[in-house]
Amino acid sequence: MTDFSNIACTVFHHKTRKPPLSIGVLALLAITIAALIAFGLAGCHRQQGPSVEFQKATVEYVVDGDTIDVVIDGDERRVRLAGIDAPESASHEQERNTQEGVLATEHVRALLPVGRVVYLQKDVSETDKYGRLVRYVWLDVPSDPNSSEEITSKMVNSLIVEAGFARAERFWPDVSYADQLKEAQQRAADGGLGVSYLWLEG
């Protein structure tokens, strides 16, 4: 009986005297759970839509086909229109400026004359790397911002693309309207509108 007890104690002691194994398993489990939680939270963040709040602003100046200056509560801010890219016309690098860019700028200036009241909608980013607000710009507050009809008739970003003076671009993470803008680009290309021939994908 004594010998059996000694053997049992020896075996038990042998299996439990190596805590690094159990600690390693627990640590791995904790890391896995933390990673899953982080991934899940990130997934939830990506699925969130743009803000349902619309900030009133007044057009001060149209810089080019995808950038405008506005006044918000007395403060002038530069706004980069989300999800689109127009040809250059106001770059400090003169060789980048194009006649198509000039046409795009003129189109946006006709669409957004100085003094025009617009409504700004945020997606994910507050500003870009140049400090410009990143926004969707609406001519009127939509009753349903997810309505294709309202996007095509009230959202300036979409109107510029559909007229053929800018192309749809997925600038992550501001991609909530990427599919609708891509559809607007295709309609412009199909109709040969504006300078849309420049934006046809090869």
* pLDDT, tens digit, 9 for 90 and up, residues 108-130: 999 999 999 999 999 999 999 99
CATH of the domain at 184: 2.40.50.90
Residues 6 and 98 in one domain: no
Structural domain count, the chain: 2
Q: Is the pTM of this model over 0.85?
A: no
Q: Which of 145, 197, 146, 147 is nearest to 167 (CA)?
A: 197
Exposure string for 102-114, b = 16+ CB within 10 A, e = fewer: bbbbebbbebbee
Whole-angstrom Cα distance, residue 83 to residue 71?
A: 22
Residues 155 and 105 both lie in one domain: yes
The strand pair at 117-121 and 84-85 is best described as unpaired
145: CB partners within 8 A, 6+ apart: 50, 52, 121, 138, 151
Measured in residues, the chain has a length of 202
Q: Are residues 80 and 170 in the same domain?
A: yes
Grouping H, G, I as helix, E, B as strand and the rest as coil, residue 55 is: strand
SS3 category, 32: helix
Query: Do 117 and 36 share a structural domain?
Result: no
Residue labelled with tokens 């939830």: 44
Task: Say whether both 41 and 63 belong to one domain.
Answer: no
Q: Clarify whether residues 60 and 43 are in a common domain.
A: no
What confidence score (pLDDT) does residue 45 get? Answer: 43
Q: pLDDT by residue (tens digit) across 129-183?
A: 999 999 999 999 999 999 999 999 999 999 999 999 999 999 999 999 999 999 9
Going from the C-alpha of 182 to that of each of 84, 141, 157, the distances in angstroms are 9, 22, 11
Q: Which domain holds residue 36?
A: 2-47
pLDDT at 90: 82
Nearest to 76 by CA among 53, 59, 54: 59
Regarding whether 102 and 40 lie in a shared domain, the answer is: no
27: pLDDT confidence band, cut at 50, 70 and 90?
A: low
In terms of Cβ atoms closer than 10 Å to its own Cβ (0-12, 13-18, 19+), residue 25 is: exposed
Tens of pLDDT along 33-59? 765 555 454 444 444 678 889 999 999
Instruction: Return all residues near 154 (Cβ < 8 A) that are at least 6 apart.
Output: 138, 139, 140, 142
Same domain for 99 and 150, yes or no, is yes
| 121 and 159 both lie in a single domain | yes
Tokens 């006709």 map to which residue? 110
Residue 93's pLDDT band (cuts 50, 70, 90): confident
CA 59 to chain centre: 22
Same-domain status, 63 and 43? no
